[in-house]
Amino acid sequence: MVAMDGPSGTGKSTVSRKLATKLGAGYLDTGAMYRVVTLAVLRAGVDPADAPAVLDVVEKAALGIGTRPDEATVTLDGEDVGAEIRGGAVTTAVSPVSAVPAVRELLVARQREIIDEVLGRVGGIVVEGRDIGTVVSPGAPLKVFLTASAEVRAARRSAQDSAAGRESTVDGARESVERRDRLDSTRAASPLRAAEDAVEVDTSQLNIDQVIVALAELALHRGLLEGCPAEAAR
């Protein structure tokens, strides 16, 4: 198992999916899970700051998430919401929703179930999020903490939004990622931080292929390529 943590805009999702494909492993985007339940909260007309009401919605939400790196689908009550959860409304509300301790407890339990199921079925998994190496799977044999400068992350986020047809500017994106960093790193429940034994990888000056090569090398040294496709070690 590879635990992939880090703030937004560091390339976690792309890197995690590509690494999972290279290792012949499953893939889990825990951030998408928090976004789906946040969407459920917004659709229910509940204030994200109202913790009891938020928990009530989350407990009833029918969340579905795919674990194939080439088909990482997310559903809410059977509806594909992969595009909607990346919109501005969810992005603004996801931090207060995910800061509710009981919500995190519910989703962490579900994440551990998914991880165990995929490990038993596939033999490996790359899990991305903000508390994987510190809370969800502190025993993961390889923990990675991706970082990048605020300027680089803002430029990446703005480009992603524009490519998806969402209005965005680099200045606006930087304000958004810095706000999310501040909320995630200061929350009481599972704050964003690197695990003590995590390998920190700064992606500011690296392209995706360079990051994948570096992480595959780490996986090789940790013995995580055993039983994986031969091409994963190349």
**The pLDDT of residue 163 is above 80:** no
Asked if residues 124 and 26 have their Cβ atoms less than 8 Å apart, the reply is yes
pTM for the model: 0.85
Q: Where are the alpha helices (DSSP H) in 61-147?
A: 88-98, 101-121
Q: Tell me the domains of the chain and their CATH numbers.
A: 2-220 (3.40.50.300)
pLDDT digits (tens, 9 = 90+) for 41-76: 999 999 999 999 999 999 999 999 999 999 889 999
- CA 177 → CA 82, 145, 150, distances in Å? 20, 17, 8
Bridge-based pairing of strands 142-147 and 199-202 is parallel
Asked if residues 1 and 128 have their Cβ atoms less than 8 Å apart, the reply is no
Bridge-based pairing of strands 79-80 and 63-65 is unpaired
Burial class of residue 134, CB neighbours in 10 A (0-12, 13-18, 19+): buried
Give me the pLDDT at residue 230, please: 36
